[in-house]
C-alpha cells in the first residue's frame, strides 16, 4: 500500500486500500509510520503541516472525561460476568483455587506503583486487581513460589499496556491495568465459549524444567471490546456536544428576544 505522505509503501493487515479520512486523506497508521521513520513526534508533524491537532491538556481532559469512565464501566461489566462464573463453579466444586502476583510500574528502585492481580487457577480469569504504592510492606509477604505460568502470562499482557520504560500517573496506570484485565478476561471468555479453537502447537524452552515443551496455539481473540469502548466514548462525547449546542442556541434565542424587547420599548 502506498503511503499517503510519500514515504514509500507500507503493509496493511487487510491488504485493501483504506478509505480516505479527513480533508487530506491521512491515516493514523501512515502518520505513525512516517513519524517513526523520521524520529519525529506526531504533534510536531501536524504543526509543520499546519493541521489542527489537540494539545496535551485537551487530550488529557478528553481522556479523563470520556475514556476513563467508559473503561471503568466495561471493566465492571466483564468482572461481574467473570466472578459469577467462578463463584458458581466454586459452589459446585466446594471451593476455588487462586494465585496472586505483583508487578511494578518500572524497573529497580525507580518503581513507584505496584499492581497486584488475583487469578482463578481453574479458568485462568483475573478476579481482582489493586494498584497501590510501592511502600505497602504487606505485599512483601506474598510468596512468588505460588505464581503460575498464567500469572506471568498476564504480566506480559500488562506490560503491553503499562510498559516499564514509560511513566504514567496513577489514574492512567490504573486504567491501563484495567484494560489489560479486560483484554485477558475477554480472551478467556472466548475460549470458554468455543470461539478460539486450537489451531496448532508450538515448542518453547521451559526454564523451570530445563527442556522443550509444547504449548497450544489458539485462534487470535476478536478484541471486540475495543470497538465497544470507541462506540461508547463517541456516544458520550456526541451527547455532550449536542447538549452544548442546544444550550448555546437557547442562550442565543434568549439574547435575540431581549434585543427585540429593547427595540419595542425604544419605539414606544
Count structural domains, the chain: 2
- For every residue of 123-191, DSSP letters joined together read T--EEEEEEEETT-GGGGGS-GGG--HHHHHHHHHHHHHS-TTS---HHHHHHHHHHHHHHHHHHHHHH
- Domain with 105 in it: 58-222
Residues 157 and 211 in one domain: yes
Location of C-alpha cell 442556541? 249
pLDDT tens digits, one per residue of 117-155: 999 988 899 999 988 876 555 445 444 444 467 888 888
Is position 143 within any domain?
Answer: yes
**Rounded to the nearest 10 degrees, what angle do helices 28-38 and 42-49 cross at?**
100
Is 241 a domain residue?
no
Task: Indicate whether this model's pTM tops 0.75.
Answer: no
Which cell numbers hold the place of 6?
510519500
Q: Tell me if 47 is assigned to some domain.
A: yes
Is pLDDT above 90 for 45?
Answer: no
| 244 falls within a domain | no
Q: In the structure, what pLDDT confidence band is assigned to residue 255 with cuts at 50, 70 and 90? A: low
pLDDT at 72 over 60: yes
198-210 mean pLDDT: 84
pLDDT, the chain, mean: 76
Q: Is the pLDDT confidence value at 20 over 50?
A: no
Amino acid at each position: 500500500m502506498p503511503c499517503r505522505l510519500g514515504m514509500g509503501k507500507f503493509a496493511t493487515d487487510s491488504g485493501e486500500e483504506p478509505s480516505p479520512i479527513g480533508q487530506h486523506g491521512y491515516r493514523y497508521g501512515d502518520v505513525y509510520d512516517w513519524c517513526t521513520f523520521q524520529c519525529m513526534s506526531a504533534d510536531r508533524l501536524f504543526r509543520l503541516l499546519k493541521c489542527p491537532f489537540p494539545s496535551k491538556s485537551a487530550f488529557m481532559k478528553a481522556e479523563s472525561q470520556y475514556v476513563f469512565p467508559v473503561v471503568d464501566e466495561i471493566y465492571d461489566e466483564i468482572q461481574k460476568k467473570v466472578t459469577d462464573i467462578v463463584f458458581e463453579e466454586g459452589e459446585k466444586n466446594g471451593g476455588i483455587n487462586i494465585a496472586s502476583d505483583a508487578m511494578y510500574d518500572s524497573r529497580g528502585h525507580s518503581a513507584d506503583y505496584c499492581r497486584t492481580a488475583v487469578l482463578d487457577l481453574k479458568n485462568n480469569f483475573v478476579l481482582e486487581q489493586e494498584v497501590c504504592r510501592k511502600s505497602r510492606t504487606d505485599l512483601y509477604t506474598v510468596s512468588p513460589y505460588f505464581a503460575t505460568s498464567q500469572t506471568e502470562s498476564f504480566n506480559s499482557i500488562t506490560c503491553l499496556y503499562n510498559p516499564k520504560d514509560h511513566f504514567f500517573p496513577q489514574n492512567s496506570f490504573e486504567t491501563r491495568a484495567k484494560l489489560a484485565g479486560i483484554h485477558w478476561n475477554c480472551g478467556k471468555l472466548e475460549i470458554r465459549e468455543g470461539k478460539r479453537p486450537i489451531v496448532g502447537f508450538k515448542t518453547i524452552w521451559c526454564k523451570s524444567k530445563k527442556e522443550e515443551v509444547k504449548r497450544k496455539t489458539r485462534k487470535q481473540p476478536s478484541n471486540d471490546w475495543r470497538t465497544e469502548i470507541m462506540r461508547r466514548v463517541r456516544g458520550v462525547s456526541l451527547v455532550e456536544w449536542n447538549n452544548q449546542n442546544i444550550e448555546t442556541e437557547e442562550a442565543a434565542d434568549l439574547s435575540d428576544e431581549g434585543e427585540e424587547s429593547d427595540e419595542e420599548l425604544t419605539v414606544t
